[in-house]
A and B are shown apart, each in its own frame.
Chain A
């Protein structure tokens, strides 16, 4: 069968997750060319601040220069390739190599070559040895970079996802900030397993996370009834293919709120949310239960709501970014950021962190059980028979499209669905230069 076969369904060869040869192709087709999230501006607030990160799968330095501009460059000396920054975070005036002492400015320009005239003569053009720099753009404080200097802008690459990013990250006057450095973990699973799950898989939730349900970590209709007008027992959910492989799932609490209620956020910030967003974006963020999705290829975002972080009534909300960086086809490093509104109180920020860490944090209950699925996919499909099988992604193909919304993209009126997973995989196939496309661009409105 083809790697992704859409004749009469949507079948995906298990090889795309577990075959080392396909993974090698992914590195060239996807991880050299996309826009990648590399950090948040609040991680490098001062001139000279730097963090070290992956860009795709290559190590980079992300730093702020003396003029406040953010640069992203390969963390590798142009001379003999030695890693320049060995720390996760710091502040510096320049990046100097430990091998022969070549030094680079915060813009990546080669500034000094040791014993230059003696070793290289009088005419060395040092600009030939600048660090390999990436193209950088920021959106609501999120820093993205790409090795592709000729490709689409970040805005063009995000397409309809920009609308949803504005709702998620542009709703506060002074934006978000990180709660410290990101955590790094590793899992023996393919990078796509969790990415496609976070793209919008609302189908697994009630099964995988049954203990979380039993323990009251999800709000029940009864929990939230006092905060609005109940509309029934069902949490209404929608899923969106934004195009270019970007996706989002939006699930609301089973209540209506008038005026819009941004439950879980400090009430003193509600006014600016409504002021900063368009009506359709307010409709996304008001009475939200959970929103999550993915920016192709490997960034996932999640904003979740917890009713009782520090006891009954102590509602809170948290925003998480995760980056899945493949080490090989069966091993993935995950970077985890927790974001909080910059203008929230310290008390609120710490409550948000507790809510996050105990649920969707790297050691939280949700991740604990999710990981069993991703590990299980890898463990059960390493043999030749397993590799010849396929996964099916047809759930929700019959679900109706949503109408009457301002939301852009292909919106379906259901979230127990694989609508977003198909969007992610369709883009994966396009990028891997396979032939027929499952859901043609024309259908992604």
Chain B
């Protein structure tokens, strides 16, 4: 089957330590917004052309293990679709009938092993980090989504802007209380 979607790569070397430190803080504050379901504010952290892709997890015999099927997506969103179809559910006008968001699934993002590499574009980096989104639905049903983020980010003033996010999930069977999540 045709390989349509693969994780971004770069031949660039590791970015300077201050970039690692600044981006590490950026991701910590990003996680706070996501864990608190402040999606409107989170949208300010991503580019207009932001894409959010998760390929279908797949186990094969190959070494090294790609871990996903590059011919199939599990999530395909943009800044616009997240704004219109995710964030809009949480407004005062819509929350009463956004059944799955009331009460909201509680989440905590655990981030580790941040590696930032330069790319062939100035002030643009490929950031890889491991993510576990621990979730609890209605205070009792727990689960998680664990994987690796491949973010392309660019400097934006004193901060960063996320241009794209590609997440490779660890589990072949996605068993989480809320699948529709920014990992």
Interface set of A (CB-CB < 8 Å, partner B): 42, 86-90, 178-186, 188, 208, 210-211, 214-215, 217, 333, 338, 346, 350, 353-354, 357-358, 361-365, 367-369, 371-373, 375, 379
Q: How far is the CB of B59 from chain A (nearest CB, A)?
A: 5
Q: Which of B59, B97, B173, B175 touches A211 (beta carbons < 8 Å)?
A: B97
Establish whether residues A350 and B4, one from each chain, have CB atoms under 8 Å apart when the complex forms. yes
Q: A215-B85, A353-B73, A363-B74 are known contacts. Are A184 and B174 too (CB-CB below 8 A)? A: yes
Establish whether residues A88 and B59, one from each chain, have CB atoms under 8 Å apart when the complex forms. yes
CB of B121 within 8 Å of the partner chain = no
CB of B77 within 8 Å of the partner chain = yes
CB of B15 within 8 Å of the partner chain = no
Establish whether residues B97 and A181, one from each chain, have CB atoms under 8 Å apart when the complex forms. no
Establish whether residues B75 and A357, one from each chain, have CB atoms under 8 Å apart when the complex forms. yes
Establish whether residues A358 and B85, one from each chain, have CB atoms under 8 Å apart when the complex forms. yes
CB of B71 within 8 Å of the partner chain = yes
**Residues B67-112 near A (CB distance < 8 A):** 69-77, 81, 84-85, 88-89, 94, 97-100
Residues of A within 8 A of B74 (CB): 183, 357, 361-363
26 pairs, CB–CB < 8 Å, chain A vs chain B:
A88-B172, A89-B58, A90-B61, A180-B56, A180-B71, A181-B69, A182-B56, A183-B74, A183-B174, A211-B89, A211-B98, A215-B84, A333-B173, A346-B2, A353-B73, A354-B76, A357-B74, A357-B75, A358-B81, A362-B179, A363-B74, A363-B180, A368-B179, A368-B180, A369-B100, A373-B99
CB of B10 within 8 Å of the partner chain = no
Residues of A within 8 A of B100 (CB): 368-369, 371-372
Establish whether residues B76 and A358, one from each chain, have CB atoms under 8 Å apart when the complex forms. yes
CB of B159 within 8 Å of the partner chain = no
A364 to B100, CA, bound (A): 12
Residues of A within 8 A of B178 (CB): 368
Q: A211-B98, A368-B180, A371-B100 are known contacts. Are A87 and B61 too (CB-CB below 8 A)? A: yes
Q: How far is the CB of A100 from chain B (nearest CB, A)?
A: 20
A225 to B56, CA, bound (A): 37
Q: By DSSP majority rule, is chain B's interface helix, strand, loop, or mixed?
A: mixed
Residues of A within 8 A of B89 (CB): 211, 365
Question: 1/0 contact trace for B109-147 toward A, CB 8 Å?
Answer: 000000000000000000000000000011001000000
Residues of A within 8 A of B94 (CB): 211, 214
Interface set of B (CB-CB < 8 Å, partner A): 1-2, 4, 54, 56-61, 69-77, 81, 84-85, 88-89, 94, 97-100, 137-138, 141, 172-175, 178-181
Establish whether residues A363 and B61, one from each chain, have CB atoms under 8 Å apart when the complex forms. no
A276 to B12, CA, bound (A): 54
Residues of B within 8 A of A185 (CB): 173-175, 179
Residues of B within 8 A of A346 (CB): 2
Residues of B within 8 A of A183 (CB): 56-57, 72, 74, 174
Residues of B within 8 A of A217 (CB): 85
Residues of A within 8 A of B98 (CB): 211, 369
Establish whether residues B72 and A181, one from each chain, have CB atoms under 8 Å apart when the complex forms. yes
Q: How far is the CB of A337 from chain B (nearest CB, A)?
A: 9
A90 to B76, CA, bound (A): 25
Q: A353-B76, A357-B74 are known contacts. Are A363 and B179 too (CB-CB below 8 A)? A: yes
Q: How far is the CB of B132 from chain A (nearest CB, A)?
A: 17
A375 to B71, CA, bound (A): 31
**Across the two chains, which residue of chain A brings its CB closest to B171?**
A184
A271 to B78, CA, bound (A): 34
Residues of B within 8 A of A90 (CB): 60-61
Q: How far is the CB of A309 from chain B (nearest CB, A)?
A: 10
Establish whether residues B76 and A357, one from each chain, have CB atoms under 8 Å apart when the complex forms. yes
**Across the two chains, which residue of chain A brings its CB closest to B102?**
A372
Establish whether residues A87 and B71, one from each chain, have CB atoms under 8 Å apart when the complex forms. no
Residues of A within 8 A of B57 (CB): 183-184
**Across the two chains, which residue of chain A brings its CB closest to B138?**
A379
A358 to B88, CA, bound (A): 14
A185 to B138, CA, bound (A): 19
